Structure 1
Amino acid sequence: MTFTFIILAIFILFIIYPLVLVLYKSFLDPISNKITLSYFIKFFSKKFYWSTLVNSFKVTICATFLSVAIGLPMAYIMRSIKISGSGILDILIVISYLSPPFIGAYAWIQLLGRNGALTKILNSMFHTKLNGIYGFAGIVLVFTLQSYPLVYMYISGALKNLDNSLNEAAESLGCTGVKRIFTIIMPLVMPTIFASSLLVFMRVFADFGTPMLIGEGFKTIPVLIYNQFMSEVGGDDGFAAALCVIVITVAILLFFIQRFFANRNTYSMTALKPMIAKKTTGIKNFFAHLFVYFVVLLSIIPQVVVIYTSFLNNNGGQVFTGGFSLKSYKATLFAKDNSVIMNTYIFGLMAIVIIVILGVLISYLTVRKRNLFTSLLDTITMFPYIIPGSVLGIAFLFAFSRKPLLLSGTALIMIIAFSIRRMPYTIRSSTAIIGQISPSVEEAAISLGASEIKSFAKITVPMMMPGVLSGAIMSWVTVISELSSSIILYTTGTQTLTVSIYTEVIRGNYGNASAYSTILTLTAILSLLLFFKLSGKREISI
């Protein structure tokens, strides 16, 4: 019980307390110090402000729908038809997902911006003047190509548990391939579709890097929050807090709606006869390969572009002058003050240590020691799962910018933010692992004289470790790619790779941005290979 209270106190301090302060500031008049609704009235009474919320919904709904429309058939095709090079394609899909969305936005600017390589070719061929990828369509394109892999991985995992005899029975009754997807496959994987759609929705809804880079006049609410809080001229903490409350309310409502529909459409499946990819021929095989290769090509283009441009010769990182050179790496990787790379790795590793230790303890307490307090702990630890990173960053600055809890500007606040943000994923995976370990194993150790703590440390933890470590590697990749909270909390001394990439793009230093992006991409690839080595898998399904 002592451990429960200590961990509960930590999460109350770093989740509940900051969020309560955000709520308080959203209703506080800074002049009279009285409770007021003026910030919310300001938001809903001016189209300039509330239209950003509408824009966010437009982008998010479209990107989520398109991600499902691509991810579902991709997963079904890869599970049912033998696709040449499927192992490599799986890895490429995962790599495209692990890359931050704003890198995709930057890469597409290089291709389809007003002066992009493809834009110049199209303008020359058709004697026109295209305005580039900017605005609503560009944002949706970037988010869709970066988010569909999440839907693909979730549904691919669900299809593993699908009994293929249902599929074969439908086929024997004359049900065509497309009809089978809508009448058999989709209803059975509907809870998975809801779960992955929620993750896509929340990720897109909370992201500000992509709309900031290519949105131009099309502003979303994360961009508005960032501008209101960080603006050197006209910044308004109270109004930013009110915007955060609106976003949190929307996120919580969406979370409970998803849970409601998922619980109503839950099925128990046992794959007595699992789906096996079969070799096909003719037009079906041709279009299956064409669809998969085309989607993977589009999704991996950003990584190819940033790696390619990182080796282009440039003038100070801004203007590419033709030919190839290592100037971008000399200005970044071999710079005298190269703390951003070390910061990224050190902060990430420290965050992963915290995530693994607390994640294992929390999952053990919530499964083996279920009571009112562990149930409360389980609920609180899920909050960062649905709260955008920028909101958490602002909440941290409200809470920890004065003594005795003066953490703002330090590396510690970055590490804590990373840990809190990624904790729910490790807790959920660890909870699933513990659920598969019989309590009788621990009881046997206790009956032989071992203490409860010793039994947990010597028996339970080693049995959990393979799964926990594999999950930790994937959490590590998401931690080093974190931008939303980092951009709010960083200082010159605590800058990370993602922040550096973003700031270099904003400054127009595309060479430097490409070099930093390449380092981040290679780190993700090496981490993915390590995941495969430790887990013994050759694919990732959730």
Structure 2
Amino acid sequence: MNKRFKFDFWTIVTLTILGIFLLFLVYPLTTLFIDAFKEPLTSKFTLANFQKFFSKKYYYQALINSIVSATSVTLLSIIIGLPIAYLMTAYKIKGKRLLEVLIIISMLSPPFIGAYSWVLLCGRSGVITKFFKHNFNLNIPTIYGYVGILLVLTLKLYPFIYLYVSGALKKIDSSLIEAAESLGSKPSRKLAFVIIPLILPTLLAGALLVFMNAIADFGTPVLIGEGYNVMPTLIYSEFISEVGGQANFAAAMATVMVFLTSIMFLIQRYIINKKSYVMSSLRPIQIGELKGISNYLAHIFIYLVVILSIIPQLTVIYTSFLNTRGAMFLHEFSLKSYRTVFSRLGKSITNTYVYGFIAIIIIILIGMLTAYISTRRRSTLTTVIDTVTMFPYIIPGSVLGITLLLAFNKGYIILSGTATIMIMAFVIRRLPYTLRSSAAILYQISPSIEEASISLGCSPVKTFFKVTSKMMLPGVLSGAILSWITVINELSASVILYTSNTRTMSVTIYTEVVRASYGTAAALSTILTVTTIISLLIFFKLTGSKNISI
């Protein structure tokens, strides 16, 4: 037998991790696909669910809307994120450090908080709406519908383009740019024909992430869509609101979503493989200084975008300290909303932190072990695991929630309505952050260190726990904090899986907004935002960095 397949501790670990992914990811997805082709009453094989979807405009229009809105958000994010990244990397921008932190905070906060905040500002009874009506007798467009979705999601997601492009620009050798300049290339031509082609693979990776997040988002369209149906909201309404055989139809729509996101992922991977470059930044781009009108325009553009991005967080924090009467905020400060939250909704806060903490422990353990077997003990099984761990990137949260509910709502393992199914959804969705950071730092640790430990009498297992894992810890923790931030902000899967006993802060904020209890929603959003900021500060402290790499 090949030595790599020797039945030892690491073989047990490999089989266990494979079993976890098969049980909680592959099996639920298989159940979803099978149910999509079932006739509800007889369970016979049928294409009726897909025929229904593609034959009625009400349904397939939601798919078109999802593609159009996600594509528009992606293009707008590139239009905003690319120039900001270039300006912040290549030129001196006042307050750059603070601007970067604010951009990251706006990215890590959940988009449905942004939607809720813009409702407070530009809704039918919003502050800005009433200001223009009372003072200028102008009826400005409200935040609801397609345009509102574009605004909220673009301001939420352009930081992904910013972070990806900033990282790529720092790896470009300035000699390439100087060569273009020596040949008489103007700044605009230099950017279009030299810099952008070099960073194109990274730009496409960021664009894919934006597209996936935009097409999978549930909270924003459900709060401000108002008739502009998209796939996540339609799947949710068919699966939750209807009774009878609608679960099979919802499974068919979810299957269409998985197929679409998989196609987008494969296209992006194909382009990257064709257009990738290896760059050695011996001389990074030198920071220049803009002068005259260009300097003013650059600062105005960046400041305006960042201010608009951070408005949701500032709005919820401010309004959380206002007194309320029904759905109205009064012009007086009060802690009423916080008293209500802790007396009536405290369980959702506890659930968020408890489930999040348990999920992070599991994520760290699985992430470290998976990264180790994928890089140090490569085999057919570890290759399969490495491939399967990419699935959460292409599965929308609402679809994952449905797959888990369909798989564990009956049979030998019944988890629906329990904390376990919530925690496993968090683990599956957010494991990739910790897994990627664990693998990245492991590549930087020389195998010779482990070999030296083993040669001194330490077993391979003991070497991993005593030596390797301790050296991996900084990278693992930085990824774990990002996983933690996204776990506590998770809504798409949670809103499918929660019960009254297992709802989290994100779900409670959503339900409170739907009930027009804006004060309590603001208080919970503030708690979530402050937790996100504190977690971000811990990330900076542990990594010694002021940047986040994705």
Q: Are positions 1:424 and 2:432 aligned together?
A: yes
Kept after mapping to 2: 8 A contact 1:156/1:541: no
Partner of 1:195: 205
Secondary structure at the residue paired with 2:323? strand
Partner of 1:164: 174
- Answer with 163-172 or 263-272: which moved more: 163-172
| 1:400-453 deviation digits (Å, cap 9, x = unpaired) | 123531111111111111001011222222222212222122112112221111
Matches within 5 A, 1:230-241: 230-232=240-242, 236-241=246-251
Partner Cα distance (2:329, 2:245) in 1: 36
Partner of 1:225: 235
Structure 1 stretches of 4+ with a deviation exceeding 4 A read 232-235
Kept after mapping to 1: 8 A contact 2:322/2:519: yes
Q: CA deviation at 1:283?
A: 1.5
Partner Cα distance (1:26, 1:299) in 2: 39
Partner of 1:353: 361
Partner Cα distance (1:251, 1:9) in 2: 25
Q: CA deviation at 1:179?
A: 1.9
Partner of 2:64: 54
Q: CA deviation at 1:321?
A: 2.5
Could you tell me which amino acid in structure 2 is paired with residue 21 of structure 1?
T
Q: Are positions 1:66 and 2:76 aligned together?
A: yes
Q: CA deviation at 1:143?
A: 0.6
Partner Cα distance (1:129, 1:48) in 2: 30
Partner Cα distance (1:169, 1:42) in 2: 58
Identity among equivalent pairs (%): 54
RMSD between aligned residues: 1.3
Partner Cα distance (2:525, 2:192) in 1: 39
Matches within 5 A, 1:6-21: 6-21=16-31
Secondary structure at the residue paired with 1:493? coil
Q: CA deviation at 1:336?
A: 5.1
Kept after mapping to 1: 8 A contact 2:436/2:479: no
Q: Are positions 1:382 and 2:382 aligned together?
A: no
Q: Are positions 1:540 and 2:538 aligned together?
A: no
Uncovered stretches (5+) of structure 2, i.e. residues with no partner: 1-10
Q: Are positions 1:398 and 2:406 aligned together?
A: yes
Q: CA deviation at 1:42?
A: 0.2
1:536 and 1:394, CA in 2 relative to 1: closer, same or farther beyond 3 A?
same
Could you tell me which amino acid in structure 2 is paired with residue 140 of structure 1?
L
| 1:173-218 deviation digits (Å, cap 9, x = unpaired) | 3322222221111111111111111111111101111111111111
Matches within 5 A, 1:118-129: 118-129=128-139
Matches within 5 A, 1:454-493: 454-493=462-501
Partner Cα distance (1:396, 1:539) in 2: 35
Secondary structure at the residue paired with 2:457? coil
- Indicate which of 335, 339, 348 corresponds to 2:347: 339
Kept after mapping to 2: 8 A contact 1:19/1:395: yes
TM-score of the superposed pair, with normalisation by structure 2: 0.96
Q: Are positions 1:265 and 2:275 aligned together?
A: yes
Kept after mapping to 2: 8 A contact 1:87/1:539: no
Q: Are positions 1:326 and 2:347 aligned together?
A: no
Partner Cα distance (2:400, 2:430) in 1: 12
Q: CA deviation at 1:59?
A: 0.3
- Answer with 285-294 or 45-54: which moved more: 285-294
- Answer with 95-104 or 439-448: which moved more: 439-448
1:164 and 1:235, CA in 2 relative to 1: closer, same or farther beyond 3 A?
farther
1:328 and 1:465, CA in 2 relative to 1: closer, same or farther beyond 3 A?
same
Partner of 1:212: 222
Partner Cα distance (1:233, 1:308) in 2: 41
Secondary structure at the residue paired with 1:313? strand
TM-score of the superposed pair, with normalisation by structure 1: 0.97
Kept after mapping to 1: 8 A contact 2:41/2:245: no
Kept after mapping to 2: 8 A contact 1:228/1:234: no
Partner of 1:279: 289
Q: CA deviation at 1:131?
A: 4.5
Q: CA deviation at 1:125?
A: 4.5
Kept after mapping to 2: 8 A contact 1:64/1:201: yes
- Indicate which of 31, 35, 45 corresponds to 1:35: 45
Q: CA deviation at 1:233?
A: 5.3
Partner Cα distance (1:398, 1:14) in 2: 12
| 1:220-252 deviation digits (Å, cap 9, x = unpaired) | 011110000010557710100000110011111
Secondary structure at the residue paired with 2:501? helix
| 1:91-141 deviation digits (Å, cap 9, x = unpaired) | 100000011111111111111111111112223454333341111111011
Partner of 2:161: 151
Kept after mapping to 2: 8 A contact 1:227/1:235: no
Aligned length: 540
Uncovered stretches (5+) of structure 1, i.e. residues with no partner: none
Q: CA deviation at 1:337?
A: 5.2
Q: CA deviation at 1:150?
A: 1.0
Kept after mapping to 2: 8 A contact 1:366/1:374: yes
Kept after mapping to 1: 8 A contact 2:122/2:142: yes
- Answer with 83-92 or 165-174: which moved more: 165-174
1:336 and 1:48, CA in 2 relative to 1: closer, same or farther beyond 3 A?
closer
1:506 and 1:235, CA in 2 relative to 1: closer, same or farther beyond 3 A?
farther
- Answer with 222-231 or 156-165: which moved more: 156-165
Kept after mapping to 1: 8 A contact 2:435/2:479: no
Partner Cα distance (1:35, 1:199) in 2: 35
Q: Are positions 1:2 and 2:24 aligned together?
A: no
Partner Cα distance (2:197, 2:245) in 1: 48
Partner of 2:5: none
